Chain A
Amino acid sequence: QVQLQESGPGLVKPSQTLSLTCTVSGDSLIRGAYYWSWIRLHPGKGLEWIGYIYYSGTTHYNPSLKSRVAISVDTSRNQFSLTLSSVTAADTAVYYCARDSGYGTSDYWGQGMLVTISS
Chain B
Amino acid sequence: QSALTQPASVSGSPGQSITISCTGTSSDVGTYESVSWYQVHPGKAPKLMIYEGTKRPPGISNRFSGSKSGNTASLTISGLQSDDEADYYCCSYATGSTLIYGGGTKLTVL
Contact = CB atoms under 8 A, between A and B. Distances in A.
A105 B36 contact: yes
Interface in A75-119: 96, 98, 100-107, 109-112
A64 interface: yes
A25 B81 CA distance: 33
Contact of B52 (A52, A60, A105, A111): A105
A109 B45 contact: yes
Indicate the size class of the contact surface on chain B.
20 to 34
Interface of B: 1, 3, 32, 34-36, 38, 40, 45-48, 51-52, 57, 89, 91-93, 96-104
Query: Ordered nearest first, which 8 A-B pairs have the shortest CB separation?
Result: A109-B45, A105-B51, A103-B34, A46-B104, A49-B99, A104-B91, A47-B101, A103-B93
Given A46-B102, A47-B101, A62-B98, A104 B46 contact: no
Contacts of A104: 34-36, 51, 91-93, 99
A37 B38 CA distance: 15
Contacts of B34: 103-105
Interface of A: 37, 39, 41, 45-49, 52, 60-64, 96, 98, 100-107, 109-112
A76 B12 CA distance: 49
Given A47-B38, A104-B92, A105-B36, A63 B45 contact: no
